[in-house]
Amino acid sequence: MAAVFLSQMTIAHAQLNVDTKQFNPGSGAAVTRQKNLVQLSWPAGLQTQGKVTFDLSPGNPLFKTIALTAGGESHTISEDLDAAFLLSIGKRDLLSQNGWNIFFDKVPLRPYKTFPVTLKKTGITVKSTGSRTIVVIGNLVADRFAGELEITFYHGSPLFNVAAVMSTKADATAIVYDAGLVSRTQKWSSLSWTSTADQVQTAPVQYAESSKNLSVKYRTISAQGKAGALALFPAPHQYFYPLDEAFNLKFIWHGKDYRNMVDGYGMGIRQELEGDRRFVPWFNAPPGTRQRLNFFCLLSEKGHHDALDAVKKFTNADRYVSLPGFKTMSSHFHNEFIMNVVLAGKPVPEKPEFVDVFKRMGVDMVHLGEFHYTAHPKGPDSLRLRELKALFEQCERLSDRDFLLIPGEEPNEFFGGHWLQIFPKPVYWIMSRQKGVPFVENRPGFGKVYHVGDKDDMLRLLKEEGGLAWTAHARTKGSVNAPDIYNHEDFFKSDRFMGAAWKAMPADLSQPRLGNRVLDLLDDMNNWGEKKTVISEADLFTITHENEMYAHMNVNYMMLDELPAYRQGWKPVVEAMQKGRFFSTTGEVLIHDLRINGHFSGETLRLHADGTADVRLKLSWTFPMNFVEIISGDGNKVYRERIDLTATQAFGAKDFQFRPKLKGRKWVRVEAWDSAVNGAFSQTFYLK
């Protein structure tokens, strides 16, 4: 059995160097040392101090004590713990599709191996960054990867992050990791988690019990120590590499000898190496990138329930909160309710589970992608019209004053690559047009019925019915070369072709942002001189309460005062999408208001005489923020101005004012990202 305690490897007994040159003693944190024990304290909230004692002696657990002092009373939360990491290393296919942007990869079907990450305690560095204290301990090794252990303590909160920051020189590498905390002494009394039925479960710790994997809600497990609880959880979106399904694959583990590679009893986070057994790309790990294999810990002197509730607040209990002046919309779901239930002769539930899932998540509007290789898009006409009629009837039935279910498809005809469409009302159309068949005709019981035979017909239909089209999963999957291959076409240049859709795909743990693939595309489209927008998309199939939906979800906040009624159509939604009157987010970072020289996104503005502009931004967040970035372009080059926000604390809101220099630029947009790599991005502002 290979031990993976990060403090296991023996070293010489010489006293280790403690580097505090970058530590600010006026930050509110304090560092003391007694031989090989280094104690860090940090302000962990109102009249609360967090304290961690690191033991740098060889063979001893790294975390000697983890405690909170509240109201003058000290509470030892946990003792004698080590961080444990297992790194699975496989081979990335960089040849068959679009290099590192590939999704259609099946890494676990090729040779791979899992390695324990081991630590040699060569030294410790303590440094201050904004409102954070960061402890760095070296050196880490796992096969061809090397790096350091980095623990970040967030002032104002009993929260810290444990990260194995590692890199490799090897090319074409794909990785996943499991991680957690492991005990060599029996100091925990019980474990607690929330079941997928949203019920808190508690069980006594059985130190002799072999490890097991759990399906939980909110991705969290908590251990009760002597005088409090420690909750452990991953970054809510970054930890989950893209899959077609949001199945709950038991992302939590606890017990003895995890995977027969962890010597001791522990708890932590895990990945299912074979994913959903469809396409399983894992994480990109390009040469030289600093991959952050990380997890979060949150302390509570009050016990399990308080710790679990505190973690839930970081994702608003996996719900998209309401904002005045906005309605939430999520897009691209292949639920196939029509073909698999309604037209399959099965009982049609009065309240389908998938609708309840969205409502509980705070999604006001859902744009479907039905008939994904399951129906008859090209006819016969009788079947196609029957399918559309069933779709429209069910969308109307399941919509109400607080929820709008919008019919939509991923047609993948005429334009090239994969794309989605939306009309502002139900439209009957068939994706074929034989010789002599009119473009549009009236059919009894249906009204207007369109026959579309090529890209010109499709553009004509979008214009006549006020619809929109856009590239799905641009530059990857079935759109590996789109929209680039048709950016010269009339349909793309039309205002009826909205642009593209964003998803955190591919995944790369070295990046401080998610979904660079489409954010870079948005910049490219802006520099092409096209006024295009990008909505976020989920691109998921099964939708159930059991699923880990939130980790794979995202949402668009549309600038709407009220939700359109199905029978009146949803033209305001389509117009907001086309005009860029919205922002997109993972949910933890919200853009309450953003104006540049008094203008909203999607509008054209004039710069001040000195080439600057007034950016007024109101943000709120849950995890401490990392940065805001102002991105602009001149038609050829992209410029980035990053504003550091590491001085922020958890659960904040602030009005920011910036005055960037934008002389010679043609467009500008804004992004905001937090310390767990959750974020939000605006649409584009155009400059005269």
Residue range 570-581, pLDDT digits in tens: 999 999 999 999
State residue 185's pLDDT score: 87
State residue 1's pLDDT score: 34
Fold of 326-585: TIM Barrel (3.20.20)
Helix-strand-coil percent breakdown of the chain, rounded to 5? 15, 40, 45
**Cis peptide bond upstream of 139, omega within 30:** yes
Say how many residues make up the chain: 688
Rounded to an integer, the average pLDDT of 651-656 is: 98
- 23 contacts 134 by C-beta, under 8 angstroms: no
Rounded to an integer, the average pLDDT of 380-386 is: 98
State residue 7's pLDDT score: 39
State residue 71's pLDDT score: 82
Cut 0.85: pTM above it: yes
- 555 contacts 534 by C-beta, under 8 angstroms: no
How sure is the predictor about 502, in pLDDT bands with cuts at 50, 70 and 90?
very high
Rounded to an integer, the average pLDDT of 505-523 is: 98
Domain boundaries, the chain: 82-315, 326-585, 587-687
Q: Which residues 6+ apart lie within 8 Å of 444 measured at CB?
A: none
How sure is the predictor about 348, in pLDDT bands with cuts at 50, 70 and 90?
very high
How sure is the predictor about 285, in pLDDT bands with cuts at 50, 70 and 90?
very high
Query: Which pLDDT tens digit goes with each residue over 391-433?
Result: 999 999 999 999 999 999 999 999 999 999 999 999 999 999 9
Instruction: Indicate whether 5 pLDDT > 80.
Output: no
CA neighbor of 564 nearest in space, from 577, 550, 580: 577
State residue 12's pLDDT score: 38
Query: Which pLDDT tens digit goes with each residue over 564-621?
Result: 999 999 999 999 999 999 999 999 999 999 999 999 999 999 999 999 999 999 999 9
Instruction: Indicate whether 9 pLDDT > 80.
Output: no
State residue 184's pLDDT score: 82
- H-assigned helices in 24-113: none
Distance CA 688, CA 667 (A): 9
Local structure of residue 450 (DSSP, 8 states): E
Query: Which pLDDT tens digit goes with each residue over 244-261?
Result: 999 999 999 999 999 999
Instruction: Indicate whether 631 pLDDT > 80.
Output: yes
Instruction: Report the sign of the C-alpha dihedral through residues 298, 303, 304, 309, in that order.
Output: negative
Fold of 587-687: Immunoglobulin-like (2.60.40)
Tokens 């990380």 belong to 294
Tokens encoding 286: 């390009």
How sure is the predictor about 80, in pLDDT bands with cuts at 50, 70 and 90?
very high
**Domain 82-315 belongs in CATH node 2.60.40:** no
DSSP string, 370-388: B-SSSS-TT--HHHHHHHH
82-315 shares its CATH topology with 587-687: no
How sure is the predictor about 127, in pLDDT bands with cuts at 50, 70 and 90?
very high
Query: Which pLDDT tens digit goes with each residue over 438-456?
Result: 999 999 999 999 999 999 9
State residue 17's pLDDT score: 87
Distance CA 675, CA 299 (A): 18
State residue 72's pLDDT score: 85
State residue 50's pLDDT score: 98
CA neighbor of 83 nearest in space, from 210, 212, 242, 269: 269
Rounded to an integer, the average pLDDT of 168-172 is: 98
Backbone angles phi, psi at 424, to 5 degrees: -80, 0
Distance CA 274, CA 250 (A): 12
* Average predicted confidence (pLDDT) for the chain: 96
Q: What is the dihedral of CA 648, 650, 656, 661, to 10 degrees?
A: 60
Instruction: Indicate whether 471 pLDDT > 90.
Output: yes
Instruction: Indicate whether 91 pLDDT > 70.
Output: yes
How far, rounded to the nearest angstrom, does the alpha carbon of residue 150 sit from its chain's CA centroid?
Answer: 22
Backbone angles phi, psi at 656, to 5 degrees: -110, 150
- H-assigned helices in 285-335: 304-313
SS3 390: helix
96 CB-contact burial (10 Å; exposed 0-12 / middle 13-18 / buried 19+): exposed
State residue 14's pLDDT score: 56
Instruction: Give me the numbers of helices (H) and strands (E) for the chain, helices first please.
Output: 9, 42
